[in-house]
Amino acid sequence: MLLPSLNGLRAFEAAARHMSFTRAAAELNVTQTAISHQIRRLEEQLGLTLFIRRNRTLELTREALDYLPSIRSAFADLHRATAKLRRNDHEGRLTVSTTASLATKWLVSRVAAFQDANPGIEVRITTSTHLVDFQREEVDIAVRYGHGVWPGLRADWLMAEHIFPVCSPDLLNDARPLRSPEDLAHHTLLHTTVSREDWQLWLTAAGLPGSIATRRGMTFDQGFMAIQAAMEGLGVALGRFHLVEADIAAGRLIAPFDTVLPQDAGYYVVAPEATAETVKIVRFRDWLVASATPGALASGPG
């Protein structure tokens, strides 16, 4: 007996999970018509009706309800086998994705310690500003900023983030003093493209008009570039604690004011649920969480 079409089985499983041909088509990146044709062909191959089609709803037949668990189990086995094959092919390499700023200012200075403790694992760091596609981009684990809820991913809390102005110590001796937040009106504000609204939020928290943030300043694509410009004395940047702590400790930057803008989200270590318990991913995740600075600024939400 010939096995039914794999495309038809995928269409059946997706449509049964969503109880919608439209949503199944969106998930599989095909048209609704293609889903209908694939399922109709599958029904012809099986000699059975799988869906009862009503005006605006679908209903599974008794035969489909009996068939569906086995199909889902088969696809799960295929996913596990493929993931295992990929792991075996790259067993000694761990690809980590994060933002360029977090990689440059926080992760790179720490990862050598993991490499020393795990010489059999080669760490590869890649950066991006988009939400990484783990399978397509062959990424094992990532650090994401958000609220910790991403379907299909395991998310472990890493650290919170607080935002505050930072500048070169030389600005304190500038002809235009920087003694209070009001003095920012006379200084160049350094912005980043992806978070231009942060300055307005901080100014509002400090009791100042947000319009100060709209005056002429300098804008950079990446946060670490704005931080570097601040160290060079080009203006005042908004620093995220874990990206500037080393520079503050070394005296390259100062935090001239007490007002800190807390964030309602934080950094998480994420990996696909199907591979989250792989030995190399577990080792890196445990090490990364342990390496985050302890204390109030690194405590979890709540």
Distance (Å, rounded) from C-alpha 101 to C-alpha 82? 33
**Assigned architecture for domain 6-88:** Orthogonal Bundle (1.10)
Burial of 2 by CB count in 10 Å (0-12 exposed, 13-18 middle, 19+ buried)? Answer: exposed
How is the chain split into domains, by residue range?
Answer: 6-88, 93-158+264-297, 162-263
Helices in the chain by DSSP H: which ranges?
6-18, 21-28, 32-46, 62-89, 100-102, 108-117, 134-137, 197-205, 223-231, 241-249, 279-291
pLDDT at 84: 65
3-state secondary structure of 105: helix
* Residue among 82, 182, 180, 99 at smallest CA distance from 138: 82
**Assigned architecture for domain 162-263:** 3-Layer(aba) Sandwich (3.40)
Is 261 in contact with 247 (CB distance < 8 Å)?
no
* CB proximity list for 240: less than 8 A, separation 6 or greater: 101, 161, 162, 163, 223
**Assigned architecture for domain 93-158+264-297:** 3-Layer(aba) Sandwich (3.40)
Residue 301 predicted with pLDDT over 80:
no
This prediction has a pTM of 0.56
Tens digits of residue pLDDT in 61-114? 999 999 999 999 998 888 877 766 665 545 678 999 998 888 888 898 889 899
Is 6 in contact with 41 (CB distance < 8 Å)?
no
The encoded tokens of residue 172 equal 């304190």
Tens digits of residue pLDDT in 146-180? 888 888 899 999 988 788 999 999 887 767 778 88
Partners of residue 60 on adjacent β-strands: 51
Binning pLDDT at 50, 70 and 90, where does residue 297 land? very low
3-state secondary structure of 157: strand
* Residue among 265, 266, 218, 209 at smallest CA distance from 238: 218
The reply to whether 6-88 and 93-158+264-297 are identical in fold is no
Binning pLDDT at 50, 70 and 90, where does residue 299 land? very low
